Amino acid sequence: MSIAPQALTARPAPAGTSTQRRSGWDRLRFDAAAEAAGGEDEAPVPARPRLVWSHGRATERADPDQWAGVLVRACAESLLGMRPPAQLGRWLDPAVWTALKRRSALALDLHGRPRSPRPITVRRVIGAVVSEGAWEGSVVLDDGVRVRGAAVRLEEHRGRWRGTAVRIG
């Protein structure tokens, strides 16, 4: 497959925009499904028991409300350049993690690391169990500039919660 020479020529930036910073691009806006477009739907994860074996003892899984807040906050920190996306590899589904890693790299290329980032706080988490081993909810984040909404789906994977869908608005 060859690329037409016209596709390789540089186009001038629209009037009023800088090539370094584009005011219309939101660094924190993220949709894992849109980023990983073209991926096929996977089969549903089979239900697993609620107990987790840790150091030879049975314990309960982490509270999904609390875990969703931690996970979405960590994703937002990664998108802002405050946390490397590699730290989220075992918490996210591989397709979601790949999309987050790609989007974080794009944000770093366009805007660089923030000099003095404001801490991201989770204001509220509202969710519900969708089926055995699956939880969906919304998270309200305050990034210091705006209050944002996020949607997250957690599914049980090997006895712990794993983010299978993340969307930050």
pTM of the model: 0.69
- With H, G, I as helix, E, B as strand and everything else as coil, classify residue 66: helix
**Span 36-63, average pLDDT:** 50
CA-angle at 27, arms to 143 and 78, nearest 5°: 70
Q: Tokens 């309960």 correspond to what residue?
A: 60
Give residue-wise pLDDT tens across range 80-129: 999 999 999 999 999 999 999 999 999 999 888 888 888 999 999 999 99
CA atoms of 7 and 139, how far apart (whole Å): 41
CA distance 150 to 31: 9
